[in-house]
Chain A
Amino acid sequence: MRYFRHLLCVVAFMFACISANAVGHGTDENGSIDLQGILFGHIQDSYEWHITTVNGHPVVLHLPVIVKSSTGWHVFSSGEFSEEADAAGNRPGPYGLYISGSEANANKICEKVDGAEVRPFDISITKTVAVLFIDAILLLLCVLIPARWCKRHRPEDPAPKGFTGLMTMFIMYIYDEVIKASLGKEADKYAPYLLTCFFFIFIANIMGVVPFPPGGGNLTGNITCTFFLALCTFIITNVTGTKAYWKDIFWPEVPTWLKVPVPLMPFIEFFSIFTKPLALMIRLFANMMAGHAIALSLSCIIFIMFGINAVAGASMTVVSVLMSVFMMLLEVLVCFIQALVFTMLSAVFFSLAHVHGHAVKE
């Protein structure tokens, strides 16, 4: 019960932060709530890290911009872009660059070359990249600290306690229940990749739930991140695939008329090579993005209802807080489940690509 109360406090605090965050940059000129602006402002990438707004002044972390435009490499702070948009909706900055307000390149750095809007070669440290760095450092700490313990101790020493014990247990849970269960003897070959995937996704997910820096970013809810992870799984699956795996794709054991005049089954099998990682990518992305969207929407309900009248707002606040607490807890569960699902499916794809003919399978 005591722990539950602590948890409640933490969640309420998170919720308060989200609310403050949301209301900070969410109101447009006539005072109503710009829900879409709030949602996309949070879910999408940006060149600065908006933390909160105090007395109308936004508290923003300006992140470095690294671009190679038509005039060469430029590295400068994103604070050099003006706060106000010009007539075209663009926010001008140095070197002829501006943050576009156009439909095609919304909120991206662009430049005008021969009158046309083009995107320069842009490897800026955006908010999501910063979050990626933070998550990567956290991941390294979470794994290298236990690894260091393991290096410095012999098997006959007493069991590790505290953080090392927790991480060891966690890692071995994934290793035994997911990786070993799917891959069997091949487990050790793929384990580092799968474990890295799992903990990378898990830490990114959890850090996304934390509503204030260093958390609060939307890394795994960004399709680029899930695209890259799915691409890795895709490459490993097909590069380490055995002969039997490729034979099953191009010459599966089905009635001949399904593959000879019209290669129906080979076509379907070949297509499935791409759909599998695609499903991985979309699943993780959609789940995490939806989680963020729901958390923000539930907070925004309060302000929308206050816009109608105070009584509706006050009564809705209670409902919204309860719903947010519930969603927050659910979201923590989803963080774990999605990381687990990604890892488990990757492991299953690897094991499917590792068939050694049908004799071995049985």
Chain B
Amino acid sequence: MTQEQAERATPRTARKAAVLLAIGAVFLIGVLVIAFTRDTQDAQSPLLSRPAPEIVSTTYDDEQFVLSRRKGSWVVLNFFNSTCVPCKREHPELVKFVEGQRAMGSRGAELYTIVNDDSEEAVRSFFAGFGGDWPIIRDDDARIAVDYGIAKVPETWLISPTGVVAQRFTGQVTAELLGSAIAAMSGSE
């Protein structure tokens, strides 16, 4: 009697457990899929629509770079690290973007790569291997990364010709995305 009752008393434990586990698993896998396929996001930042924090640094070609002097151009800042997977994946897109902007002549946007906490050799060899001849800006003391609040590379920032932070992209970008963003915002200016 006891055994029967015990059996009746625990009906379908396995099925219930399976359903619960299934819900949990679906949720977990869903989150992972979203996180993994999420490429570019329009990210928030308290700096949006505010003056871009000043950058004073040198490039890998030992030239001085001052951000405020580039007012009048669209400036694209790409925060990069030679070991980050999405950075490497988006690099050909950046090359394409630069080519497109150069084709527009003097009206084109300017792209700068900012490197913090990486070895110069690794970055140089990366650019040598994958192309790209735009200026690379040093950020050895992390001032720039900290001022812009960079947490995870890659990040791409669009600075308008008046020196205002127009947009911030976290994650990989494409040439198309950058180009159309700039075009849209230039039109409204």
> A and B bound?
no
B residues neighboring A (CB under 8 Å) = none
